[in-house]
Amino acid sequence: MLHSNHQHLVSPESARSAPLGEDERRHHRASHGRAPLSQPKVRKILDTTHRPRTEALNHEIQKERQREGIAKARAEGKYKGRKPTARAKAPDVLRLYQDGNHVSQIAKALGISRTSVYRALDQAGTEGRGNGRRAA
């Protein structure tokens, strides 16, 4: 007879060496309301309850390795990130805006987003919101 807090997982009958007979199985179901869990079922239950924790731990380990690799590459001067393309076009944005072009026209002409156009105009100190044209 097994004594533990997990008596609902493994029945006393499953601790026997001989398999249960049909009468014993019926008696077990009638007295406990369910059939005893087999080893594969217990493993499946434990696997599904512990898998999210394991995956989260593996994810954290992978992210830490990635951060270490990025730090090493930066130290060697190999990792610089993406060049800021829209900010490099800020003088063109300002020139086109002062020529009277709409924000959407500037964005399309320079291949950047309207948000980037507004950002460049805000940094330049111009009033870029409103109808998209420079205030007269």
Q: Give the chain's mean pLDDT.
A: 76
pLDDT of 16 > 90? The answer is: no
Do 62 and 98 lie in one domain? The reply is no
Do 24 and 63 lie in one domain? The reply is yes
Do 31 and 53 lie in one domain? The reply is yes
Phi-psi sector, 16: left (phi>0), alpha (psi -120 to 50), beta: beta
pLDDT of 59 > 60? The answer is: yes
pLDDT at 86: 87
Tell me the C-alpha to C-alpha distance, in Å, between residue 41 and each of 1, 3, 31, 36, 123: 20, 20, 21, 10, 63
Parent domain of 118: 85-124
Domain count, the chain: 2
Do 90 and 118 lie in one domain? The reply is yes
pLDDT at 29: 55
Q: Are 79 and 89 in contact (CB under 8 A)?
A: no
- Across the range 30-53, mean pLDDT stands at 68
Do 47 and 27 lie in one domain? The reply is yes
